[in-house]
Structure 1
Protein backbone atom coordinates (compact mmCIF):
# COMPACT_ATOMS: atom_id res chain seq x y z
CA UNK A 1 0.00 0.00 0.00
CA UNK A 2 1.33 3.42 -0.93
CA UNK A 3 0.95 5.75 2.10
CA UNK A 4 -0.35 9.19 1.12
CA UNK A 5 -0.56 10.74 4.59
CA UNK A 6 0.34 9.74 8.14
CA UNK A 7 -1.25 11.29 11.23
CA UNK A 8 0.87 11.48 14.38
CA UNK A 9 -0.65 11.69 17.87
CA UNK A 10 0.62 10.99 21.37
CA UNK A 11 -1.39 10.18 24.50
CA UNK A 12 0.05 10.89 27.92
CA UNK A 13 -0.89 10.98 31.59
CA UNK A 14 -3.58 8.49 32.54
CA UNK A 15 -4.54 7.71 28.95
CA UNK A 16 -8.31 7.56 28.70
CA UNK A 17 -8.66 8.43 32.42
CA UNK A 18 -7.57 11.99 33.10
CA UNK A 19 -5.01 11.91 30.31
CA UNK A 20 -4.15 14.08 27.40
CA UNK A 21 -3.68 13.50 23.68
CA UNK A 22 -2.41 15.74 20.92
CA UNK A 23 -1.20 15.66 17.37
CA UNK A 24 2.34 16.64 16.50
CA UNK A 25 1.13 19.63 14.45
CA UNK A 26 -1.01 20.97 17.34
CA UNK A 27 -4.25 20.91 15.33
CA UNK A 28 -5.84 18.52 17.82
CA UNK A 29 -5.10 18.87 21.52
CA UNK A 30 -7.59 17.24 23.86
CA UNK A 31 -8.08 16.46 27.51
CA UNK A 32 -9.26 12.87 28.12
CA UNK A 33 -11.63 11.52 30.73
CA UNK A 34 -13.62 8.33 31.12
CA UNK A 35 -17.44 8.58 31.19
CA UNK A 36 -19.21 7.68 34.44
CA UNK A 37 -21.01 4.86 32.57
CA UNK A 38 -17.62 3.20 32.16
CA UNK A 39 -16.61 3.70 35.79
CA UNK A 40 -14.70 6.91 35.23
CA UNK A 41 -14.85 10.38 36.68
CA UNK A 42 -17.07 11.74 33.92
CA UNK A 43 -14.75 14.72 33.70
CA UNK A 44 -14.91 17.42 31.07
CA UNK A 45 -12.54 15.71 28.63
CA UNK A 46 -13.39 13.68 25.56
CA UNK A 47 -12.73 9.95 25.16
CA UNK A 48 -11.40 7.59 22.48
CA UNK A 49 -14.92 6.49 21.51
CA UNK A 50 -15.97 10.08 20.78
CA UNK A 51 -12.80 10.65 18.77
CA UNK A 52 -13.39 7.42 16.82
CA UNK A 53 -17.03 8.41 16.17
CA UNK A 54 -15.93 11.81 14.89
CA UNK A 55 -13.32 10.33 12.57
CA UNK A 56 -15.47 7.48 11.28
CA UNK A 57 -18.50 9.69 10.55
CA UNK A 58 -16.38 12.24 8.66
CA UNK A 59 -14.53 9.57 6.70
CA UNK A 60 -17.72 7.68 5.86
CA UNK A 61 -19.43 10.85 4.59
CA UNK A 62 -16.43 11.46 2.32
CA UNK A 63 -16.65 7.87 1.10
CA UNK A 64 -20.37 8.32 0.43
CA UNK A 65 -19.63 11.39 -1.69
CA UNK A 66 -17.01 9.43 -3.65
CA UNK A 67 -19.36 6.47 -4.09
CA UNK A 68 -22.17 8.74 -5.27
CA UNK A 69 -19.91 10.49 -7.81
CA UNK A 70 -18.99 7.10 -9.31
CA UNK A 71 -22.66 6.66 -10.18
CA UNK A 72 -23.03 10.25 -11.44
CA UNK A 73 -25.01 11.25 -8.34
CA UNK A 74 -24.24 14.36 -6.31
CA UNK A 75 -25.11 14.17 -2.62
CA UNK A 76 -26.60 17.39 -1.23
CA UNK A 77 -24.38 19.62 0.91
CA UNK A 78 -26.83 18.95 3.76
CA UNK A 79 -26.00 15.24 3.79
CA UNK A 80 -24.84 13.98 7.18
CA UNK A 81 -23.48 10.85 8.82
CA UNK A 82 -23.79 10.25 12.55
CA UNK A 83 -21.74 7.57 14.26
CA UNK A 84 -22.79 5.90 17.49
CA UNK A 85 -19.83 4.03 18.96
CA UNK A 86 -20.79 1.63 21.73
CA UNK A 87 -18.19 0.29 24.17
CA UNK A 88 -18.83 -2.92 26.08
CA UNK A 89 -17.57 -6.22 27.42
CA UNK A 90 -16.86 -8.81 24.75
CA UNK A 91 -18.87 -12.03 24.77
CA UNK A 92 -15.67 -14.05 25.20
CA UNK A 93 -15.03 -12.32 28.54
CA UNK A 94 -11.45 -11.47 27.51
CA UNK A 95 -11.76 -7.72 27.24
CA UNK A 96 -13.74 -4.97 25.61
CA UNK A 97 -15.11 -4.30 22.16
CA UNK A 98 -16.89 -1.73 20.07
CA UNK A 99 -20.11 -1.66 18.06
CA UNK A 100 -20.81 1.08 15.53
CA UNK A 101 -24.05 2.37 14.05
CA UNK A 102 -23.65 4.75 11.10
CA UNK A 103 -26.80 6.73 10.27
CA UNK A 104 -26.89 8.77 7.06
CA UNK A 105 -29.26 11.46 5.90
CA UNK A 106 -29.30 12.93 2.40
CA UNK A 107 -32.29 15.20 1.75
CA UNK A 108 -33.78 14.61 -1.69
CA UNK A 109 -32.22 11.14 -2.09
CA UNK A 110 -34.63 8.19 -1.88
CA UNK A 111 -34.05 5.44 0.68
CA UNK A 112 -33.04 2.76 -1.85
CA UNK A 113 -30.48 5.03 -3.54
CA UNK A 114 -29.08 6.15 -0.18
CA UNK A 115 -28.73 2.51 0.92
CA UNK A 116 -26.84 1.72 -2.29
CA UNK A 117 -24.51 4.70 -1.76
CA UNK A 118 -23.91 3.65 1.86
CA UNK A 119 -23.16 0.05 0.83
CA UNK A 120 -20.64 1.30 -1.75
CA UNK A 121 -19.13 3.73 0.78
CA UNK A 122 -18.73 0.86 3.25
CA UNK A 123 -16.37 -0.76 0.72
CA UNK A 124 -14.44 2.47 -0.02
CA UNK A 125 -14.09 3.91 3.52
CA UNK A 126 -10.76 3.02 5.19
CA UNK A 127 -12.43 2.96 8.64
CA UNK A 128 -14.94 0.39 7.36
CA UNK A 129 -12.12 -1.59 5.80
CA UNK A 130 -10.11 -1.53 9.05
CA UNK A 131 -13.05 -2.61 11.20
CA UNK A 132 -14.48 -5.29 8.86
CA UNK A 133 -14.57 -8.61 10.68
CA UNK A 134 -13.48 -6.97 13.96
CA UNK A 135 -16.28 -4.61 14.89
CA UNK A 136 -19.99 -4.94 14.19
CA UNK A 137 -20.98 -1.99 11.98
CA UNK A 138 -24.64 -1.34 11.21
CA UNK A 139 -25.69 1.03 8.41
CA UNK A 140 -28.96 2.98 8.79
CA UNK A 141 -30.78 5.71 6.92
CA UNK A 142 -32.30 8.55 8.96
Structure 2
Protein backbone atom coordinates (compact mmCIF):
# COMPACT_ATOMS: atom_id res chain seq x y z
CA UNK A 1 0.00 0.00 0.00
CA UNK A 2 1.12 3.51 -0.76
CA UNK A 3 1.10 6.10 2.02
CA UNK A 4 -1.56 8.80 1.82
CA UNK A 5 -0.13 12.22 1.05
CA UNK A 6 -1.67 15.54 1.94
CA UNK A 7 -2.56 17.81 -0.93
CA UNK A 8 -1.00 21.22 -1.35
CA UNK A 9 -4.45 22.82 -1.62
CA UNK A 10 -5.36 21.82 1.93
CA UNK A 11 -2.00 23.01 3.17
CA UNK A 12 -2.55 26.37 1.46
CA UNK A 13 -5.99 26.72 3.06
CA UNK A 14 -4.47 26.09 6.48
CA UNK A 15 -1.63 28.54 5.83
CA UNK A 16 -4.06 31.31 4.89
CA UNK A 17 -6.18 30.65 7.98
CA UNK A 18 -3.09 30.74 10.19
CA UNK A 19 -1.85 33.96 8.58
CA UNK A 20 -5.25 35.61 9.07
CA UNK A 21 -5.02 34.63 12.74
CA UNK A 22 -1.52 36.15 12.89
CA UNK A 23 -3.00 39.50 11.82
CA UNK A 24 -4.40 39.74 15.36
CA UNK A 25 -0.99 39.19 16.99
CA UNK A 26 0.26 41.78 19.45
CA UNK A 27 3.73 41.36 17.92
CA UNK A 28 4.07 43.95 15.09
CA UNK A 29 6.78 41.89 13.36
CA UNK A 30 4.49 38.87 13.26
CA UNK A 31 1.62 41.03 11.88
CA UNK A 32 3.91 42.51 9.18
CA UNK A 33 5.05 39.04 8.16
CA UNK A 34 1.44 37.81 8.04
CA UNK A 35 0.39 40.75 5.85
CA UNK A 36 3.32 40.14 3.48
CA UNK A 37 2.75 36.38 3.34
CA UNK A 38 -0.98 36.81 2.68
CA UNK A 39 -0.16 38.99 -0.31
CA UNK A 40 2.25 36.33 -1.57
CA UNK A 41 -0.38 33.61 -1.15
CA UNK A 42 -2.74 35.62 -3.36
CA UNK A 43 -5.81 34.12 -1.69
CA UNK A 44 -8.92 36.30 -1.92
CA UNK A 45 -10.10 35.15 1.53
CA UNK A 46 -7.46 37.49 2.98
CA UNK A 47 -9.00 40.60 1.43
CA UNK A 48 -11.63 41.37 4.07
CA UNK A 49 -9.34 40.78 7.10
CA UNK A 50 -6.70 43.01 5.50
CA UNK A 51 -9.22 45.75 4.69
CA UNK A 52 -10.51 45.54 8.27
CA UNK A 53 -6.94 46.12 9.52
CA UNK A 54 -6.58 49.38 7.58
CA UNK A 55 -8.62 51.33 10.14
CA UNK A 56 -6.30 50.75 13.10
CA UNK A 57 -3.02 50.30 11.22
CA UNK A 58 -0.10 52.72 11.27
CA UNK A 59 1.12 54.15 7.95
CA UNK A 60 3.81 51.48 7.55
CA UNK A 61 1.23 48.71 8.01
CA UNK A 62 -1.23 50.46 5.67
CA UNK A 63 1.45 50.58 2.96
CA UNK A 64 2.12 46.87 3.45
CA UNK A 65 -1.61 46.06 3.48
CA UNK A 66 -2.16 47.99 0.24
CA UNK A 67 0.75 46.14 -1.39
CA UNK A 68 -0.69 42.80 -0.23
CA UNK A 69 -4.17 43.71 -1.51
CA UNK A 70 -2.69 44.74 -4.83
CA UNK A 71 -0.82 41.44 -5.13
CA UNK A 72 -3.96 39.46 -4.28
CA UNK A 73 -5.90 41.50 -6.83
CA UNK A 74 -3.38 40.84 -9.62
CA UNK A 75 -3.25 37.12 -8.84
CA UNK A 76 -7.07 36.97 -8.77
CA UNK A 77 -7.58 38.95 -11.95
CA UNK A 78 -5.35 36.77 -14.12
CA UNK A 79 -7.63 33.69 -13.96
CA UNK A 80 -10.72 35.91 -14.14
CA UNK A 81 -9.34 37.55 -17.27
CA UNK A 82 -8.73 34.12 -18.78
CA UNK A 83 -12.29 33.07 -17.91
CA UNK A 84 -13.66 36.16 -19.69
CA UNK A 85 -11.47 35.48 -22.74
CA UNK A 86 -12.69 31.86 -22.92
CA UNK A 87 -16.30 32.96 -22.38
CA UNK A 88 -16.10 35.51 -25.19
CA UNK A 89 -15.31 32.60 -27.54
CA UNK A 90 -18.04 30.29 -26.21
CA UNK A 91 -20.40 28.73 -28.72
CA UNK A 92 -23.38 29.98 -26.73
CA UNK A 93 -24.42 33.57 -27.50
CA UNK A 94 -25.88 33.81 -23.99
CA UNK A 95 -22.50 33.02 -22.42
CA UNK A 96 -20.81 35.61 -24.65
CA UNK A 97 -23.50 38.16 -23.75
CA UNK A 98 -23.06 37.50 -20.04
CA UNK A 99 -19.29 37.87 -20.37
CA UNK A 100 -19.79 41.27 -22.01
CA UNK A 101 -22.22 42.32 -19.28
CA UNK A 102 -19.80 41.27 -16.56
CA UNK A 103 -16.84 42.97 -18.25
CA UNK A 104 -18.93 46.13 -18.24
CA UNK A 105 -19.21 45.84 -14.45
CA UNK A 106 -15.41 45.70 -14.23
CA UNK A 107 -15.16 48.79 -16.44
CA UNK A 108 -17.66 50.61 -14.17
CA UNK A 109 -15.36 49.96 -11.22
CA UNK A 110 -12.46 51.40 -13.22
CA UNK A 111 -14.53 54.53 -13.87
CA UNK A 112 -15.11 54.90 -10.12
CA UNK A 113 -11.38 54.59 -9.53
CA UNK A 114 -10.75 57.29 -12.13
CA UNK A 115 -12.98 59.62 -10.12
CA UNK A 116 -10.96 58.89 -6.97
CA UNK A 117 -7.75 59.59 -8.85
CA UNK A 118 -9.19 62.86 -10.19
CA UNK A 119 -9.79 63.96 -6.59
CA UNK A 120 -6.18 63.08 -5.78
CA UNK A 121 -5.07 65.71 -8.30
CA UNK A 122 -6.06 68.27 -5.64
CA UNK A 123 -4.06 66.57 -2.87
CA UNK A 124 -1.89 69.00 -0.87
CA UNK A 125 1.18 66.82 -1.52
CA UNK A 126 2.85 67.39 -4.91
CA UNK A 127 4.12 63.80 -5.14
CA UNK A 128 0.61 62.45 -4.59
CA UNK A 129 -0.64 64.77 -7.34
CA UNK A 130 2.12 63.57 -9.69
CA UNK A 131 1.32 59.92 -8.97
CA UNK A 132 -2.39 60.57 -9.60
CA UNK A 133 -1.55 62.28 -12.91
CA UNK A 134 0.58 59.30 -13.92
CA UNK A 135 -2.19 56.83 -13.01
CA UNK A 136 -4.82 58.83 -14.88
CA UNK A 137 -2.53 59.02 -17.91
CA UNK A 138 -2.15 55.25 -17.85
CA UNK A 139 -5.91 54.76 -17.54
CA UNK A 140 -6.54 57.22 -20.38
CA UNK A 141 -4.08 55.30 -22.56
CA UNK A 142 -6.11 52.16 -21.91
CA UNK A 143 -9.30 54.01 -22.80
CA UNK A 144 -7.73 55.33 -26.02
CA UNK A 145 -6.80 51.77 -27.01
CA UNK A 146 -10.43 50.80 -26.31
CA UNK A 147 -11.69 53.72 -28.42
CA UNK A 148 -9.32 52.83 -31.27
CA UNK A 149 -10.48 49.18 -31.15
CA UNK A 150 -14.09 50.33 -31.19
CA UNK A 151 -13.45 52.69 -34.11
CA UNK A 152 -11.64 49.93 -36.04
CA UNK A 153 -14.48 47.50 -35.32
CA UNK A 154 -17.12 50.03 -36.39
CA UNK A 155 -15.18 50.77 -39.57
CA UNK A 156 -14.96 47.03 -40.40
CA UNK A 157 -18.71 46.60 -39.74
CA UNK A 158 -19.56 49.41 -42.16
CA UNK A 159 -17.61 47.78 -45.01
Shorter-chain TM-score above 0.5 = no
Structure richer in strand, relative to its length: 1
TM (norm. structure 1) is 0.32
TM (norm. structure 2) is 0.29
Higher relative contact order (CA 8 A, sep 6+): 1
- Quick check: which has more Rg, 1 or 2? 2
